[in-house]
Structure formats: C-alpha cells, structure tokens
Structure 1
C-alpha cells in the first residue's frame, strides 16, 4: 500500500523531479526497478508539472535533509498511521491519515509580497492536486480512498522556518474497505488450520 500511495502522488510533480529521487539508480530490491518503470510510465511531464520536486521521508530530519537541496516548489505526501475497524461484514474499514503538502522554498530575505505570492501559487497547485484526487476517486481509480473521504478534507497553512519553505497542506482521512487485505489474509490462515 505504501508503494501504491508513493506512486499515486508521484503522478503530480514534474517527472524529472520525481525521477531525481532515485539517486542509487539500481538496488538489490526488485521492486526498485519496478518503481522506476512505473515512474517512467507516468504520462507527460506530470499532472501538475509546475510542482518541481517530490519529497518522501518518514522523519522530519529526512525531510529537512532532502528539502535543503531543493529549489522551487515541492510536493510532500505524508501518510501516517492506519486505523482498522470491523465493518460488521467480516472485514475491516481501513482509515489512514494523509497530509499532502505543496510548498515552495524561499530566501531568507523574502518580503511580505513574495510570501503572499508563494502562498497564492502553492494554494493553486494544491487545489489542482485535490481536484485530480476527487476526479480519480469519482472514476474509481483510487482503491485506497473512498469519494466520501474527500468531502471532509481540510486545507491548512504549512510554514516551516527550519525548511525555509511555506505553502499549504491538504489533510484527510483515506478510508477504504480493508485496504491492507488483513481479513483475506486471516481467512487464508484459518484454512491452513
């Protein structure tokens, strides 16, 4: 599921910025080559090519290290904990908290007008990402996100002085039936005895 989320959000930034994440070029993990192939298969330059970079990290230190080397605009998808709840039909509803940020680096000497421009641009770009997500959910292309999950989203300011970046974050709960396949796996174990 994590790879699916990663590849889904990789569709939005400029493809060059996504491809730049693969600094090793190859790996002992066979999935590495598969993910590179999936990135290369992204159509065009990306769905929102004005987003220059894609950032993934599980800790703030990782994020800071990555963002320090960037210029311009970036998308950061933060997928957190999973909540599993019985749905009453011998399966689970899986809910995951997602935060999708579009932010832009700025200089130390940026004035108020530049900050307004950054805020305006990043909000427009995040709105485009959100609209794509709604369209994909409507067309049934997101197995990990129900359409109703997008009806209860929040957009909050993102200001990280440590990153010298600001923008906006879309926060939502992605809910889908047993997105991790836990119940199907449990039933297969039951059959084994």
Structure 2
C-alpha cells in the first residue's frame, strides 16, 4: 500500500462523472512525480459513472482549496476527505491499521430562494447517492473476500454554509489494511 491516498482517489473517482474527475487535474504541474501517471490512470477509468447524477469530484483535506473548488460547483458532488491512520493490536496481538475517510455527497443550494421541501428533496437525493456508493463498496468487499471497509459505519447530515451553502450526507468509514504505518 505504497500509494494509499492515490489508491483511494482512484477507488472513489469511479463514482462521479468522468469529466468531473478530470477537472481535478487543472494545475499543469506536469513535473511533479506521479502527476502524469495518476492522470493517465483516471483517463483510463470507465467514462460511465457508477453513480449517475454526481457531476463533480473533490478530494483532499485542505479547507481553503476545497472551498475554492466547491464555490465553482452547482450540482451534486462527491467529496472524499481523509484523516488519521490508527494502529492497534487485536486480541491475537496482530497489528491492525485503519484509515479514516469521510465520504460526502452534497449539493450547493441558494438558501434565499429555497423552501424546506426543496432542501429535504436535495438531502434525500444525496442520501440515495451515498447509499449507492456504500452498496458498491460492500459488493466489492464481498466479491474480493476482503474487509477493507469496516462495517457498520455511520452517515450524518452535511450542512456547510462555508462550502457554497452545501447540503447532503456524509458517510464515515474506516478502511482497514495491514501495513498502513
């Protein structure tokens, strides 16, 4: 697992629209090691979104960059935020590691021109998209006989006035894998 964040990027890049994922490569930093390889890997992904309806992809932990990207979005987006790696030993003294992920499906809204019913419908659609993502993840884990994502997990409402007044849902996951640290 040499490229943990790149692997996660590619794993979740399959869910939104292909064009939305390609927009993440906009800096032109072609001299950065791995940039061209990652871009080529994304270009080689299927152009068919696993969750039609999610148009954009946001990946990262920097709030300032995330805010700038989401300010330019006006439809549903998938945001992958990652955090700490936790290492522990199980009862058999085998080291287990987990990587914290927050997977959000949301959409910017104009709160001044929206009523509560519209907000509820957008929230429901975001939750439905998140359910589709979770279903794909569980099916893949079962098919590969891996337990990369620890279940159960939780979903919480997402309300972010500073992120283009976005609303939606966030699923909190822990991706298990030996050797993360």
TM, length-normalised to structure 1: 0.83
Q: Please tell me whether the aligned partners of residues 74 and 103 of structure 1 are also in contact (alpha carbons under 8 angstroms).
A: yes
Deviation string 1:136-165 (CA, Å, 9 cap, x unpaired) is 11122868x14xx1x211011000112211
Structure 2 residue 124 is matched with structure 1 residue 120: yes
Q: CA RMSD in A?
A: 1.9
Task: From the superposition, tell whether residues 3 and 128 of structure 1 become closer, same or farther in structure 2 (CA, over 3 Å).
Answer: same
Deviation string 1:24-59 (CA, Å, 9 cap, x unpaired) is 345112411111111111113221131000002312
Consecutive unaligned residues of structure 1, counting only runs of 5 or more, are 183-193
TM, length-normalised to structure 2: 0.89
Question: Equivalent residue for 1:76?
Answer: 79
Deviation string 1:168-189 (CA, Å, 9 cap, x unpaired) is 01112222222x2x5xxxxxxx
Please say which structure displays the higher CA radius of gyration: 1
SS of the equivalent of 1:139 reads helix
Q: How many Å separate the matches in 1 of 2:73 and 2:12?
A: 18
Size of the aligned set, in residue pairs, is: 176
Q: How many Å separate the matches in 2 of 1:59 and 1:129?
A: 23
Consecutive unaligned residues of structure 2, counting only runs of 5 or more, are none
Q: How many Å separate the matches in 2 of 1:22 and 1:86?
A: 39
